[in-house]
Amino acid sequence: MFKITDKRVLNPTVTMMDIYAPLVAKKAQAGQFIILRVDGDGERIPLTVAGYDRDAGTVKIIFQTVGATTMLLNNKNKGDYIQDFVGPLGCPTRTDGIKKVCIVGGGVGCAIALPVAQKFHELGCEVHSIIGFRNESLVILEDEFKSCSDRLTVMTDDGSYGRRGLVTEPLKEFIDNGENYDEVVAIGPLVMMKFVVMTTKPYGIPTTVSMNPIMIDGTGMCGGCRLSVGGKTKFACVDGPDFDGFQVNFDEAISRSRMYAEFEREKREDMCNLFKKEIE
């Protein structure tokens, strides 16, 4: 069992937790992920590491309550325990040879983008961050990004906060204005990453994307997380989760991500009803 040592609500649907898992905290690096199970009947879900404190032995996770499992997790409080927590899995984000980077985060993906931005910042790189949200109430981690970015741009779809528009607009603008990025790192919804890649490709700027497909074990055993990268089958859990964005077949990944859409909708409704009953 793994103890929740801290819990903070970042916005109405996004929660941050610190989990006491000293073995994982000792090894975790930006770009890697963990797999957790909330209780004995729970599914195994992957979450990318949002931070770690090696001294305290804790790992930070940030998640959006989108399905039954994340709802169940969100219902836990500081001091409660979760059943299983394993990691760190996957390969850390590559940083070698990069002097100037643009980090593009979308929605809850910003939680994963943050430790990557922090890592580049610590290494002395020039870090530009562009983070996008649907509206003001969903903006998260702005201060944290500010303190590790040389330039921060906040976007909202409806213009209720920061600049109005999509993350690809300032990205293209900055590149056109002569910012010579060695690398662009995009972390967010599949569609956002697809469009970031479409933006950077004409300029030939190497673009890394962080993939988060459906998976079970996270050790290469099930193959459920397979993606087509450069025409070859790759397993996100062991070969990734970072991949060369120019090589990823996004349309296939988007299609595969919807495999259990119907099941997930039903389970979520069941869970909502269960919570409602508990309140009554």
Partner 1 sequence: MPLKPEKHKMPVQSADVRAHNFDEVALGYTEEIAVAEADRCLNCKNKPCVQGCPVNISIPDFITKLKQRDFEGAYGIIAGSSSLPAICGRVCPQETQCESKCTLGIKFEPVAIGRLERFVADRHNTVSDGKIQNPESNGFKVAVVGSGPSGLACACDLARKGYKVTVFEALHDVGGVLVYGIPEFRLPKEIVRKEIEGLKRYGVEIQTNVVVGKTVTVDELFESGFNAVFIGTGAGLPKFMGIAGESLKGVYSANEFLTRVNLMKAYNGKSQTPIMRAKKVAVVGGGNVAMDAARTALRLGAEKVYIIYRRSMQELPARREEVEHAQEEGIEFKVLNNPVAIIGYENTEDKNDPQNGFVCGIKVVKCCLGEPDERGRRRPVEISGSEYIIDVDCVIMAIGTSPNPLIKNSTADLAVNSHGGIVVEEGSGKTSKKGVYAGGDAVTGAATVILAMGAGKNAAAAIDKYLNN
Q: In the complex, which residues of this chain contact partner 1 (CB under 8 A)? A: 23-24, 27, 37, 41-44, 68-69, 72, 83-89, 216-224, 226-228, 233, 238, 249, 252, 255-256, 258-264, 267
What DSSP string describes 57-112?
TEEEEEEE--SHHHHHHHT--TT-EESEEEEEESPPPP-TT-SEEEEEEEGGGHHH
The rounded Cα 171 to chain-centroid distance in angstroms is 19
Taking the CA atoms of the chain, what radius of gyration do you get in angstroms?
18
Contact 34, 49 (CB under 8 A): yes
Pairing state between β 100-106 and 183-187? parallel
Q: Closest distance between partner 1 and the C-beta of residue 203, in Å? A: 29
Judge whether 106 and 189 are in contact, CB under 8 Å: yes
In the complex, least distance from residue 17 CB atom to partner 1, rounded to whole angstroms: 17
- Burial class (CB within 10 angstroms; exposed 0-12, middle 13-18, buried 19+) of 19: buried
Q: Which residues pair with 101 in a beta bridge?
A: 127, 183
Cα 60 to Cα 152: distance, rounded to the nearest angstrom: 23
Q: Please state, in angstroms and rounded to a whole number, the distance separating the CA atoms of residues 25 and 59.
A: 5
The C-alpha atoms of residue 34 and residue 90 are separated, in whole angstroms, by 9
Shortest reach from residue 2's CB to partner 1, in Å? 8
- Minimum distance, C-beta of residue 43 to partner 1, in the bound complex (Å): 4
Q: How far is the CB of 181 from partner 1 (least distance, A)?
A: 30
CB of 138 to partner 1, least distance (A): 25
Select 223 or 230, whichever has its Cβ closest to partner 1. 223
Q: Which is nearer to partner 1, 100 or 256 (CB)?
A: 256
Query: Closer CB to partner 1, residue 79 or residue 223?
Result: 223
Compare residues 146 and 258 and give the one whose CB is closer to partner 1: 258
- Min dist CB 254 to partner 1, Å, is 9
Distance (Å, rounded) from C-alpha 114 to C-alpha 189?
15
Nearer to partner 1 (CB atom), residue 89 or residue 138: 89
DSSP state of 126: E
Q: For partner 1, give the closer residue by CB, 40 or 124.
A: 40
Closer to partner 1 by CB, 61 or 227: give it. Answer: 227
* Residue 166: CB minimum distance to partner 1, A: 21
Report the candidate in 78, 72, 11, 77 with the shortest Cα–Cα distance to residue 36.
72
Return the number of the residue (165 or 224) whose C-beta is nearest partner 1: 224
What is each CA distance from 273 to 68, 69, 278, in whole angstroms? 11, 14, 9
